[in-house]
Structure 1
Amino acid sequence: MKRIAALILLASLAANAYAFEPFVISDIRIDGLSRIAAGTVYNYLPLNKGDRLTNAEAARAIRALYQTKFFSDVELDRDGNILVIKVVERPSIAKLNIRGNHDIKTDDLKKGLKQTGIAEGETFDRLAIDGVQQELIRQYYNRGKYNVSVEPHVTRLDRNRVSIDIEIREGKAAKIREINILGNHAYTDKQIRDDFESGTPNLMSWYSKNDQYSREKLSGDLEKLQSYYMNRGYADFGVDSTQVTVSPDKRNMYIDASVKEGDIYKVTDVKLLGDLILPETAMRQLVFVKDGDIFNRGAIENSSKAIKAVLSNIGYAYAKVTPIPKLDKDKHTVDLTMYVEPGQRVYVRRVIFSGNTKTEDNVLRREMRQLEGSMYSQAAIDRSKIRLQRLGYFKKVDIDKKLVPGSQDQVDVTVKVEEQAAGSMQFGIGYSQYAGIILNASLSQNNLFGSGDSFSVSGSRSTYQTSFGANYYNPYLTDNGIGIGYSANYSKTDYGNTDYANYSTSAKGFSTYLGIPITETDGVRVGLGISSNKVNLIPGFSPLELIDYQNQLGNKTIHSWTGTLGWNHDTRNGYWAPTRGGLLQAQADVTLPGSTVQYWKLTAEANHYWPIGKGFVLYLDGQVGYGKTYGKNGISDDQFAVLKAATEAQRGAGYVMPDMRQDFPFFANFSSGGVRDVRGFQDNTLGPRVCIDGSSPDVRGNCLGGYWAQPIGGSFKVLGTAELYLPLPFLKDINTARVSLFTDVGNVYRDYQSFDASTLRASAGISLHWQAPIGPLIISLAVPFRSQPSDGHYEERIQFTFGSQF
């Protein structure tokens, strides 16, 4: 049909072309234009004023205008010596709507249609409708959906425009019923298909979609098959043929791949040729294939990458390394040549930033480790990207290079960022099982006026705490990255409204600190703070142990000068959801001489993220905390003797009050348990527990009178976590949400000498972390599998918290 239509069209063109005698064109007039400019037509017209118009030239002109696809009809006419061109414009596509697609995104479908000439703003050609159907069906066939139907509808609009509505019924994807590898002898089907994305239906197919056919997946699997053999010495391995068969009902698929294994080859010689730049001995250390090794394509490719990486770090940004294996099929050996072409050494002319509509250029520039005017370094580029990602201001950071026009040794580096909200104003309600209902209000900005400074003020009210705070931090007080911060806070806390020991505090404080970078990954924090904390105990409700300690301290209000010294080593590659790297940190907080209680606390943490393939990320974390008093605290020895006698007389025979003046203060104790600690146990309920009357609880945690013992924490804490983050298809953006399987182990002890590994608590479960609009949401389902009978009151399987907390 298309050929017949073309013949009819050519006959029509010939008829129009030969409708007049030759003449010299004095002028050209175009009739029928409404949307297309006359200048556009003149650009395509192979005729000008003064040309002699013959039948052949007329035919050529008509053909040129038809080929623009702007017109559905073209006629040539004559008005004296004026050439009159009469055209009928094709309509333009005003709207392109696609409905019913679920498996393929609309943007992806439109990209395919654009290649056929169907896109909003383009000229509409009715003959292209068939191509539309074929293109969309092709995209679905590539995904194994052979029952798809595509129905385009064209609606005429005013001003010579059309609207195209495409209705898609995707149908169900064909299932892979069999995958047959033919010709394999050295390895079983299970071995070589272990890493395939395509597979036959199994219990996890609902999640992995491995049984849904995709041409791209099959192509990738065949590449993995080839790599599997070639990484194990089969240098002449090949896939001879691949056949995909669809059942008559288009619901089942059968895949057959015929392979030729060949023989195992050994490497007998490795040569390095070309311009090596560096000494050959240094370059050979980057080659992971040695004489006598079994041929390994993966090792060869990694060698090429390693050499290019080293060269790119010293300015050779466009270095090429070409491995050339020469096979001896009789001896089953390979002579390997690595040919190095470094190209020219490249320098960076400019570093250009784009996409930062709020953030000032200098905020990005100070994180850059690739400097203008310096030699190009891929390591510096990679480090710059990580530093920018860790700021938390950007959803996405891309860094690209481009040769300066007319130059072979200069590039411009473009840093393209996609900003995300770095501040918020919140008035909301949250809830946690520990704090109950939380009313909060906050104003925070982590990128204040685009300067990179952070500032926040906040206030919250819950069933047990009221707090207010203000914080400011300038990360670049000096050009070399020394930052300064200030913090002020006030809080009133009534632990009697929780499962913790029954007492209340009223605290206020102010601190300032410096952040000092040591290396790219190491920094030191030095701080000084002053605080006042009034501790209120209630006889008859608060444990006697705490009351006795406060009496020996001789003061209900605790005044402290606190010095802080911390160190951290941070190699994480992200701010909210890292996938590699880790954090090592240690901090010492010391209340200085002159404080009501002199003590120090040391905390340390080590964690790391490992990507382990297919989107899985393993996370391990270990924490330890220890505190101890120093110097002389509390009342004098004479005052203590009087207090001891009076207290023992009041409590009755048999009570002996211990000297607690050097004990670690209970209000500074570490605590353990909860949704951010050892999950599966209520917040802060693990560790030492005491009875109100001073007696010891029984094995089930009960005291005389039937009430529960009260947790008080301790001066020594250990915590360990192993977490596996899962690649869930419905959570594409890990910066928004993550799901993990976890195991927590930990506890808190009265002091270091009380540590007993057999009393460590442990739990396992699944957790969701979501950056919800209302604030961070954490939901955990945890089952304790290592506990004590006394924990029965405090176990908690489902734990959650949401809303901003300060």
Structure 2
Amino acid sequence: MKRIAALLLLASLSANAVAFEPFVVSDIRIDGLSRISAGTVYNYLPVNKGDQFTEDEAQRAIRALYDTHFFSDVEMSREGNILVIKVIERPSIAKLTIRGNKDIKEEDLRKGLKEIGLSEGETFDRLSLDRVKQELITQYYNRGKYNVSIDPHVTRLDRNRVALDIEIREGKVAKIKEINVVGNTTFTDKQIEDNFESGTTNWMSWYSKNDQYSREKLSGDLEKLQSYYMNRGYADFGVDSTQVTISPDKREMYIAASIKEGEVYTVSDVHLLGKLILPEKTLRQLVFVKAGDKFNRAAVEGTSNAIKGILSNLGFAYAKVTPVPKLDKEKRTVDLTFYVEPGQRVYVRRVIFQGNTRTEDDVLRRQMRQLEGSWYSQAMIDRSKIRLQQLGYFKKVDIDKQRVPGTQDQVDVTVKVEEQSAGSLQFGVGYSQYSGIILSASVSQNNFLGTGDSFSVGAETSTYYKRVNASYYNPFLTDSGIGIGYTVGYSKTDYGNTNFANYATSAKSFSTFLGIPITEFDSLRVGLGLSSNKINLYPGYSPQVLLDYQNALGHQTIHEWTGTLGWNHDTRNGYWAPTRGGLMSVSTDVALPGSTVQHFRVSAEANHYWPIGGGFVLYLDGQAQYGATYGSQTYKNSFGQYQAGQPLDYPFWQNFYSGGVRDVRGFQDNTLGPRVCSGTDASGHAIQPGSNGYCTGSYYQYAQPIGGAFKVLGTSELYLPLPFLKDINTARVSLFMDVGNAYKDYQSFKAGDLRASAGISLHWQAPIGPLIINFATPIRSKPADRPYEERIQFTFGSQF
């Protein structure tokens, strides 16, 4: 067939070249050009002025011009000694339209079309269009869509142009009607198919898409089937054949697989051969299978990976560990040998950063634990990747290694990052029966001008408060990673304009702190702050319990200088959406001697993420906060005289609050915990406080929260895999349960007073900014809580 095609091509070329005697070309004239320049043709033409021109040369020239794909016809003739070339140009593609595609993105389709020369502005070749049609059909077949049809339409335009319209009718995915595994006697169909990604239709198919056939899914399921048996001792298991049939209407698929289970094998011995580098005793600790065990492929692969891992940490970046099982079918035993080939030890010549258009190289380099000029270490590479992900500046981080050309002992490490917004411009508008209209705005940047420094400025106003604050943090004041930060703030609050406890505050504050790294995962925070807070209470309007406190204190303006000490242990593998690791932290703020009220507060938190398979991630979090006064406190006695005595209660303006969109969801912000009695009930009667000044019983719902000196919070959350969303940094959906409350003090804690809620939450890095939407239902509450229950809660901002 190839010989016949060649003869036909030669005949067609000869037909286009008029027979003539050889001659010397005195000039070349090209007729028929409109879009392509004559200079372009001359570049491809293998003949020049002064050349001897023969029929062989004519055929070679015609073939060269056809190969450019610029022309649909080429003819050559002679006028005297002038070579005349007459061409018909192929049309150019003026417009390319793709319609009907849903499964494959248009940008991906256009990219693929462009690679084969089918894009706007290119020369139109119908053969390319036919190839595209077949390729698209193949891609849809791989997605299980066998009813797909691709109809390209070509419309002729003026000036030798065409418009291409590719109409795609994807059809529906063929559903799996039946999966039949033949030959299994030891395990049931359900046991071996439980881990299959493919399956017949069930009540979760709308979510998992398990009943949609895909060639890739089937290949993966057959691999899982083999692993299932081999991990249980069946070392000679095999899949004899697979058959996939489709119904006449191309809507249903039938899958059959014939298997040979074989026999259960026991490991008789394990050998380590090759160049071990480390003592055999050391490597033996990484061998997860031993004599007498059932054969287990997962343990064999785990052993290979563990040995490769420890060698890669010593500079052997291309180490190979090949397991070779030798089966004795009579004894049903396996003799295992691991051949170790460490290869050449390599060191890192250069660390190269790509993709960081805004972030300076130094910001990335100071997070790297793999250093230039040192031996290659996979552990240091992995840790460097996690540190870069924890910054929150990058949507994606990939680290690759490449051998340096011409060397055997050097590699270059390339760090490829995809930057994302590290700043936000947030606006908030809200309304509540207590606060009225709430307006807020903040500007923050965690990667200021690409330096890695962070700053934020925020303002918030409502009917009863105004707040302004600013902060700045330099995480690398020194090369060793000691950071320094500053915060300044001002706020005015008038609770008298709401149904909260009737008092007003006016506070100014400034603080500075140092961040000190201790280990790779641990850091300290040491700080010092100054603040001044003027508290206005109104006799006859403010709750008596607050008036008594201020009278005993004898001061309206509270001055504090505060020392801070905190510890963090952070093993999370990401910033926005961790999937493993956790955070433990403890911090203490102490109003030092000389402050108006000597007090301290301790906050502790521990959380952890566990991947539990299938894309699910379990998250548990526990928090506790406690505050108290200390030392001998000067107070005013009933005669108006100052004297030293026992410490006062924890200052009410420092209390902890519970409930809200980021706390115990399903309850309004700050509405859980102790409430101060003031005002009247629904019948117009004055509310009578209890013996401690706090409201209890039926009066609880009429009073307003002021928080307490002790708070607990627990959260359990299950993050769900979204089959249509591959990037969990963009959005996450979770099921949650929150438990918590605030108490007057530690002694007042009662487990029976804990509130709880459950629901579903969406975290989305939306174009308008970080968006959190909660749908929560209180599952443990008191009747008096009902006015403060809130089913739907959200917060959002706008990124820049």
Is 1:691–2:677 an aligned residue pair?
Answer: yes
Residues of 1 paired with 2:288 and 2:161: CA distance? 62
1:61 shift after superposition: 4.9
| Correspondence for 1:359 | 359
Aligned to 2:782, which of 784, 788, 803?
A: 788
> Which region of structure 1 is more displaced relative to structure 2, 424-433 or 626-635?
424-433
| Correspondence for 2:97 | 97
1:308 is paired with a residue of what secondary structure? helix
Q: What are the equivalent positions in structure 2 for 1:100-249 lying under 5 Å apart?
A: 100-110=100-110, 113=113, 118-119=118-119, 123-156=123-156, 160-249=160-249
Q: Which amino acid aligns with 1:794?
A: Y
**Taking structure 1 as reference, are residues 685 and 418 closer, same or farther at Cα in structure 2, changes over 3 Å only?**
same
CA contact (8 A) 2:428 2:796 kept: no
Residue-by-residue CA offset, 1:606-659 (whole Å, 9 max, x unaligned): 1111122222111110111111211122415xx246699xxxxxxxxxxxxxx9
Q: What are the equivalent positions in structure 2 for 1:182-331 lying under 5 Å apart?
A: 182-331=182-331
| Correspondence for 1:652 | none
Residues of 2 paired with 1:326 and 1:389: CA distance? 44
Q: What are the equivalent positions in structure 2 for 1:558-597 lying under 5 Å apart?
A: 558-597=558-597
> Which region of structure 1 is more displaced relative to structure 2, 493-502 or 320-329?
493-502
| Correspondence for 1:448 | 448
Residues of 2 paired with 1:412 and 1:434: CA distance? 61
1:432 shift after superposition: 7.2
2:206 is paired with a residue of what secondary structure? helix
> Which region of structure 1 is more displaced relative to structure 2, 429-438 or 305-314?
429-438
CA contact (8 A) 2:434 2:500 kept: no
| Correspondence for 2:733 | 739
1:603 shift after superposition: 0.5
Q: What are the equivalent positions in structure 2 for 1:637-786 lying under 5 Å apart?
A: 639-640=637-638, 661-692=647-678, 693-695=688-690, 701-703=697-699, 708-786=702-780
| Correspondence for 1:648 | none
Residues of 1 paired with 2:243 and 2:465: CA distance? 69
- The TM-score, its normalising length taken from structure 2, stands at 0.91
CA contact (8 A) 1:700 1:791 kept: no
2:712 is paired with a residue of what secondary structure? strand
| Correspondence for 1:656 | none
> Which region of structure 1 is more displaced relative to structure 2, 429-438 or 88-97?
429-438
CA contact (8 A) 2:701 2:784 kept: no
Residues of 1 paired with 2:426 and 2:786: CA distance? 38
**Taking structure 1 as reference, are residues 566 and 397 closer, same or farther at Cα in structure 2, changes over 3 Å only?**
same
CA contact (8 A) 1:391 1:575 kept: yes
Residue-by-residue CA offset, 1:777-806 (whole Å, 9 max, x unaligned): 32222222223344344333333333489x
1:740 shift after superposition: 0.8
1:94 shift after superposition: 5.0
**Taking structure 1 as reference, are residues 676 and 586 closer, same or farther at Cα in structure 2, changes over 3 Å only?**
same
**Taking structure 1 as reference, are residues 266 and 163 closer, same or farther at Cα in structure 2, changes over 3 Å only?**
farther
1:403 shift after superposition: 1.6
| Correspondence for 2:685 | none
Q: Which amino acid aligns with 2:20?
A: F
Is 1:394–2:394 an aligned residue pair?
Answer: yes
Residues of 1 paired with 2:406 and 2:563: CA distance? 59
Residue-by-residue CA offset, 1:91-128 (whole Å, 9 max, x unaligned): 44454332110112224434554676544565432133
Is 1:72–2:72 an aligned residue pair?
Answer: yes
Residue-by-residue CA offset, 1:269-297 (whole Å, 9 max, x unaligned): 22222222222121222221212221111
**Taking structure 1 as reference, are residues 461 and 699 closer, same or farther at Cα in structure 2, changes over 3 Å only?**
closer
CA contact (8 A) 1:603 1:623 kept: yes
Residues of 1 paired with 2:788 and 2:514: CA distance? 40
1:305 shift after superposition: 1.7
> Which region of structure 1 is more displaced relative to structure 2, 93-102 or 517-526?
93-102
**Taking structure 1 as reference, are residues 192 and 517 closer, same or farther at Cα in structure 2, changes over 3 Å only?**
same
1:722 shift after superposition: 0.4
Residues of 1 paired with 2:216 and 2:460: CA distance? 53
Q: Which amino acid aligns with 1:781?
A: F
Residues of 2 paired with 1:436 and 1:737: CA distance? 31
CA contact (8 A) 2:508 2:531 kept: yes
1:34 shift after superposition: 6.0
1:387 is paired with a residue of what secondary structure? helix
CA contact (8 A) 2:93 2:120 kept: yes
Residues of 1 paired with 2:324 and 2:26: CA distance? 66
Residues of 2 paired with 1:454 and 1:416: CA distance? 23
> Which region of structure 1 is more displaced relative to structure 2, 238-247 or 41-50?
41-50
Q: Which amino acid aligns with 1:744?
A: D
CA contact (8 A) 1:440 1:804 kept: no
Q: For structure 2, list consecutive stretches of 5 or more residues without a partner in the other structure.
A: 679-687
Q: Which amino acid aligns with 1:765?
A: G
**Taking structure 1 as reference, are residues 128 and 719 closer, same or farther at Cα in structure 2, changes over 3 Å only?**
same
Q: Which amino acid aligns with 2:138?
A: R
Residue-by-residue CA offset, 1:376-404 (whole Å, 9 max, x unaligned): 22222222222222222222222222222
1:184 is paired with a residue of what secondary structure? coil
**Taking structure 1 as reference, are residues 51 and 303 closer, same or farther at Cα in structure 2, changes over 3 Å only?**
farther
Residues of 2 paired with 1:317 and 1:51: CA distance? 58
1:702 shift after superposition: 2.3
1:438 is paired with a residue of what secondary structure? strand
**Taking structure 1 as reference, are residues 275 and 62 closer, same or farther at Cα in structure 2, changes over 3 Å only?**
farther
| Correspondence for 1:653 | none
Q: Percent identity?
A: 76
**Taking structure 1 as reference, are residues 125 and 394 closer, same or farther at Cα in structure 2, changes over 3 Å only?**
same
Residue-by-residue CA offset, 1:690-747 (whole Å, 9 max, x unaligned): 43343269997423xx972333322222111100111224544432332110011122
Residues of 1 paired with 2:52 and 2:326: CA distance? 65
- Let me know the Cα RMSD of the aligned residues: 3.1
| Correspondence for 1:635 | 635
Residues of 2 paired with 1:342 and 1:81: CA distance? 70
CA contact (8 A) 1:770 1:777 kept: yes
Residues of 1 paired with 2:664 and 2:761: CA distance? 12
Number of residues of Structure 1 aligned to a counterpart in Structure 2: 787
CA contact (8 A) 1:157 1:163 kept: yes
Q: Which amino acid aligns with 2:757?
A: S
**Taking structure 1 as reference, are residues 536 and 660 closer, same or farther at Cα in structure 2, changes over 3 Å only?**
farther
Residues of 2 paired with 1:621 and 1:239: CA distance? 46
> Which region of structure 1 is more displaced relative to structure 2, 757-766 or 77-86?
77-86
CA contact (8 A) 2:660 2:669 kept: yes
Q: For structure 1, list consecutive stretches of 5 or more residues without a partner in the other structure.
A: 645-658
> Which region of structure 1 is more displaced relative to structure 2, 25-34 or 554-563?
25-34
Q: Which amino acid aligns with 2:689?
A: G
Residues of 1 paired with 2:137 and 2:87: CA distance? 34
Residue-by-residue CA offset, 1:422-467 (whole Å, 9 max, x unaligned): 3345566356788553323333322222222112222111233210
1:127 is paired with a residue of what secondary structure? helix
CA contact (8 A) 2:426 2:797 kept: no
CA contact (8 A) 1:506 1:535 kept: yes
> Which region of structure 1 is more displaced relative to structure 2, 274-283 or 478-487?
274-283
2:126 is paired with a residue of what secondary structure? coil
1:635 is paired with a residue of what secondary structure? strand
- The TM-score, its normalising length taken from structure 1, stands at 0.90
1:146 shift after superposition: 2.0
